[in-house]
Structure 1
Amino acid sequence: MSEMQTSPENGISNEPYEVLSSEELGKYLVAARDLTPGDLVLTERPLVFAPKAMPDPEAVMPCVGCYKPIFTDAGERCAKCGWPVCSGNCPGLKDIRHHAAECEVLSVRPDCVLNDMADYYRHDALLPLRCALLQKTDPEGWKKLLEMQSHMECRTPGTEAYDEADEFIVEYLINNFASKLDDKIKKLYDITPELLHRICGIIDTNALEIRLPQGTELNALYSETYKMEHSCTPNTKHTFSLTPKDRKDLYTITIKAVVPIVKGHHISTMYSHALWGTQARRQHLKDTKYFSCKCQRCSDPTELGTYLSAMKCLGDGTKPCDGIHLPEDPLDDETDWACNKCSVKVSNSQVNMVISQMGEEVENVLMMGGSITMLENLICRLSTFLHPNHYHLYSIKHSLIQLYGRQPAYTSHEILDKKIKMCRDLIAITKALDPGNARLSLYNSILHHELHSALVMKCKIRNEDCSAKKVEDLKLYLAEAKTAIDIALSSLKDDMEEVSGKKLQDVLNNSKRDFEKYCKEKKISV
């Protein structure tokens, strides 16, 4: 691989990273010095951002000035362009980084409607429009935007990505707005179908999603962050500033190392879900980012020893086998799956069909808020075919441990022991996949909290022979419970801007207070 080193773009020699480039990766970041967990890699304001459409836009839409959810049919309208807003006094309406620049373009369509609102006000088209408006509002930012990959060679007419962008964004912006601009405004902005398609490619390839506390979501582009390459075992974590003192710092991204990064090693992030199996992750990355991941985890049939995608061998029909099926070459989409104990092989298409059917069943049960009985029955059925660590079983078990010990019929020693083992097993998988809490911090925190709860509950109920527990036994349980609650809280340290992080922290703090009170009552020091 040929590499060309370029100087850090801000010119500061003490930067923690350098920008390099290669034919295979394009631009990417490497550590300019040894980095330790918690070290700042970079922080930057967004180049451009805009709201995504909400799940039910006919009922609720985001305000175009502050992105607060508003009732579609009852909300106020921007006095100039007619788009739904929370209030005519929303500060974002006059802010060039929010609504001010686009308002001039959007206002060329004079009429407002009350029917088919989701088609009339397409919020997903706002980010491409705001990108195009950088030509005038931020010429330097516009140059940086055009440096980003668009993968237009993969987005040709007839492809799903091109046709979707054409129908829902390009034609919408051209027909309703760009074609109606007067000559004076047209000279300021080059808004053509070709340019909009390129911008859509840039957004799909490089945009990051930001979840806001009020329930809406944004997409944002960052001029330096986009250079970070993907890895399914990322060594950094990113957070967004959602409540800054200065509004100009809104949505600033902060990227920190979560594991040691040796000088010269690549700095990476993750663009897929850490709890998906290798084939699902690689397919998602091909579909959305147009590359085939070859990272350490994707290259390892066992996925770092977790066996997250492994299947059980059912034998050759004449005798059973207790072996497991793994892909012979996980980087080959058509690879056979071979048993590690017998000669039986299964085709990739057969595996995909089974896993897809199981995935639908798991998703349906979890969406319904499955009961303990439903979840246990599902585990029992799927365990015939799947390795105990399979990601479908992980999902079910993660739900199940949050029910065990909380319902009257499920608080016995046997159930609590089952819950404790399940927690420990899932914690081991989570730690192997994400040792630095880059992607699974909430999962990890919940697992340790549930382990803590089960251990404390074990202390509080009498032995099966109705005798009280010995102090030595209590100390063992409580020592592990203390470690678990401390890890649960520590896992959340970078998630305090997230609503889910704050809520979980409140629950954990209450559990810790109850724990300390119990230890004091029992006069046990741990």
Structure 2
Amino acid sequence: MIVRILLLRQHDPEQFALIARMESHTEERRQNAVLWRHYEEKVVQRLRVTWQLEDLEAEQVHEVCGILDVNCFEIGQNGAKARTLYPSAFLLAHDCTPNTAHTDDPRSFEILLRTSRRVREREALTLSYAYTLQGTLKRRAFMHEGKLFWCCCRRCSDPRELGTDCSALVCATCRTGSVRAVDPLQQTGDWACDRCAHKMGATEVERQLDRINNDLEDIDVHDIPGLENFLLRYRDVLRPNHYLLLSAKYSLCQIYGRTEGYLLPQMTPEDIARKESYCREFLEIVDVLDPGLTRLRGLIMYELHAPVMVLTQSAFQSGQISRQEFQRRLKEVVNLLQVSRDILLMEPEGSTENAMGQAAADALSKMGC
């Protein structure tokens, strides 16, 4: 890819000019000795020595490497991924609560960028370079490592992450307080309990998070008892909205109803209620951190409609709720399906998300909506 870009200098100067105007952060990369040495050994020397392309200037190769790292989008569906550069989408600034969403066409590789919520006049258009379900400490480190800047957005600046508390730990000393970063923009700064004098260093917090994350990654994504056990083991260590607990809940939202032994007809009312609870808890966070017409929100709303429908029908048939309450809950089901349909049908044909959008549309049709 690097060679193809450099060959554009002779073969398509206009195309090369579009790429050359993209930010590379070359000077910042040069100051990162480990990063610079990696590209010098694995890319520059390989091209100039092993491939015998001595005409390629080392500085220009580093420049292209930087452009790719800073500006590339990862696209592709169902495991087939590619890195791509777009001549206008790269201009969007980063924000951890962005106002745009994007998807890509796996056939043409075109990117579709759209606003995900109402945008005020003169408000910058933004997208997120990081994963929504990560805490500030990890999110900022990821962006600095790959994009070479420290994010200072509203979410990163707020120890409570816009009220979601996605990074808060349970205080190991008093057991009642919450431990948060004193100043989240100080990457190596202290974390402190809001009830007692207990403090932790950022390095200690990061080690603890890495250990818990490794535990989570060791659990098979279809292992419902394993994920439930993870939630139990760490409920006295992590606050309820902590991103690692949310990650486990997100998996459970998706696999309850789809895994053998836990298919919808096989699930107990308690299991169904648990799925509903996880979906609602997750949706409450998404409505703050990734609001509007976003893929994550559409997926969870689709997952939520089934337990609400099943429990509503059961409660009405057993006389636990009135007809008026039954109709109110049915309206919620319809709304969940309509919003998820509208969001997910914007995803590329052939994708899992688009198929779920079609399923939502079919369900609405059967309900006469």
What TM-score does the superposition give when structure 2 sets the normalisation length?
A: 0.89
Rounded to whole Å, the distance in 2 between the matches of 1:417 and 1:242 is 37
- Whether 1:390 aligns to 2:220 is no
Go from structure 1 to structure 2 and tell me whether the alpha carbon gap of 1:259 and 1:467 turns closer, same or farther (over 3 Å shift).
closer
* Match of residue 269 from structure 2: 413
- Whether 1:218 aligns to 2:92 is no
Q: Which has the higher contact order (CA 8 A, sep 6+)?
A: 1
Rounded to whole Å, the distance in 1 between the matches of 2:99 and 2:316 is 45
* Match of residue 233 from structure 1: 97
- Whether 1:404 aligns to 2:256 is yes
**Higher helix fraction: Structure 1 or Structure 2?**
2
* Match of residue 428 from structure 1: 284
Give the alignment partner of residue 198 of structure 1, picking from 63, 87, 92.
63
Alignment of 1:478-489 (within 5 A): 478-489=330-341
Go from structure 1 to structure 2 and tell me whether the alpha carbon gap of 1:267 and 1:460 turns closer, same or farther (over 3 Å shift).
closer
Q: CA deviation at 1:423?
A: 1.2
* Match of residue 27 from structure 1: none
* Match of residue 335 from structure 1: 189
Rounded to whole Å, the distance in 1 between the matches of 2:119 and 2:315 is 48
Q: Which amino acid aligns with 1:344?
A: H
| Higher Rg | 1
Tell me which stretches of 4 or more aligned residues in structure 1 moved more than 6 Å.
none
Go from structure 1 to structure 2 and tell me whether the alpha carbon gap of 1:410 and 1:298 turns closer, same or farther (over 3 Å shift).
farther
Go from structure 1 to structure 2 and tell me whether the alpha carbon gap of 1:462 and 1:493 turns closer, same or farther (over 3 Å shift).
closer
Rounded to whole Å, the distance in 2 between the matches of 1:150 and 1:291 is 12
Q: C-alpha offsets along residues 192-234 of structure 1, whole Å, 9 cap, x if unaligned?
A: 3332122111111111112156x43222222332222111111
Q: Which amino acid aligns with 1:160?
A: V
Q: CA deviation at 1:455?
A: 1.4
Q: Which amino acid aligns with 1:435?
A: P
Q: Are the counterparts in 1 of residues 316 and 323 from structure 2 also a CA contact under 8 Å?
A: no
Go from structure 1 to structure 2 and tell me whether the alpha carbon gap of 1:157 and 1:323 turns closer, same or farther (over 3 Å shift).
closer
- Whether 1:283 aligns to 2:141 is yes
- Whether 1:135 aligns to 2:9 is yes
Q: C-alpha offsets along residues 274-330 of structure 1, whole Å, 9 cap, x if unaligned?
A: 111111110011111111100011001111111111111233xxxx44221111100
* Match of residue 501 from structure 1: 353
Rounded to whole Å, the distance in 2 between the matches of 1:505 and 1:264 is 33
Q: C-alpha offsets along residues 362-419 of structure 1, whole Å, 9 cap, x if unaligned?
A: 1121xx2342221111100111110101111111111223343562696333332332
Q: Which amino acid aligns with 1:206?
A: N
- Whether 1:261 aligns to 2:113 is no
Alignment of 1:301-340 (within 5 A): 301-315=159-173, 320-340=174-194
- Whether 1:380 aligns to 2:236 is no
Q: Secondary structure at the match of 2:240?
A: coil
Q: Are the counterparts in 2 of residues 157 and 163 from structure 1 also a CA contact under 8 Å?
A: no
More displaced stretch, 266-275 vs 152-161 = 152-161
Q: Are the counterparts in 2 of residues 321 and 342 from structure 1 also a CA contact under 8 Å?
A: no
Rounded to whole Å, the distance in 1 between the matches of 2:347 and 2:146 is 26
* Match of residue 24 from structure 2: 150
Q: Secondary structure at the match of 2:159?
A: coil
| Count of aligned pairs between the two proteins | 365
Q: Secondary structure at the match of 2:358?
A: helix
Q: Secondary structure at the match of 1:334?
A: coil
Q: 5+ residue gaps in structure 1?
A: 1-126, 181-189, 244-249, 518-525
Give the alignment partner of residue 299 of structure 2, picking from 421, 446, 457.
446
Q: Are the counterparts in 2 of residues 178 and 191 from structure 1 also a CA contact under 8 Å?
A: no
Go from structure 1 to structure 2 and tell me whether the alpha carbon gap of 1:236 and 1:378 turns closer, same or farther (over 3 Å shift).
same
Q: Are the counterparts in 1 of residues 70 and 146 from structure 2 also a CA contact under 8 Å?
A: yes
Q: CA deviation at 1:513?
A: 4.5
Q: CA deviation at 1:271?
A: 0.9
Give the alignment partner of residue 164 of structure 1, picking from 38, 43, 47.
38
Alignment of 1:472-483 (within 5 A): 472-483=324-335
* Match of residue 309 from structure 2: 456
Q: 5+ residue gaps in structure 2?
A: none
Q: Are the counterparts in 1 of residues 71 and 85 from structure 2 also a CA contact under 8 Å?
A: yes
Rounded to whole Å, the distance in 1 between the matches of 2:195 and 2:17 is 57
Q: Are the counterparts in 1 of residues 179 and 194 from structure 2 also a CA contact under 8 Å?
A: yes
Go from structure 1 to structure 2 and tell me whether the alpha carbon gap of 1:475 and 1:411 turns closer, same or farther (over 3 Å shift).
farther
Rounded to whole Å, the distance in 2 between the matches of 1:163 and 1:506 is 49
Q: CA deviation at 1:140?
A: 1.8
Q: Which amino acid aligns with 2:190?
A: D
Q: Are the counterparts in 1 of residues 181 and 192 from structure 2 also a CA contact under 8 Å?
A: yes
Q: CA deviation at 1:484?
A: 1.3
Q: Secondary structure at the match of 1:457?
A: helix
Rounded to whole Å, the distance in 2 between the matches of 1:309 and 1:163 is 33
Rounded to whole Å, the distance in 2 between the matches of 1:501 and 1:413 is 27
Alignment of 1:83-94 (within 5 A): none
Q: Which amino acid aligns with 1:274?
A: T
Q: CA deviation at 1:160?
A: 3.0
Q: CA deviation at 1:502?
A: 2.2
Q: CA deviation at 1:356?
A: 0.9
Go from structure 1 to structure 2 and tell me whether the alpha carbon gap of 1:135 and 1:497 turns closer, same or farther (over 3 Å shift).
farther
* Match of residue 294 from structure 1: 152
**Higher strand fraction: Structure 1 or Structure 2?**
1
Q: CA deviation at 1:460?
A: 4.0
What TM-score does the superposition give when structure 1 sets the normalisation length?
A: 0.64
Go from structure 1 to structure 2 and tell me whether the alpha carbon gap of 1:463 and 1:486 turns closer, same or farther (over 3 Å shift).
closer
Rounded to whole Å, the distance in 2 between the matches of 1:419 and 1:217 is 31
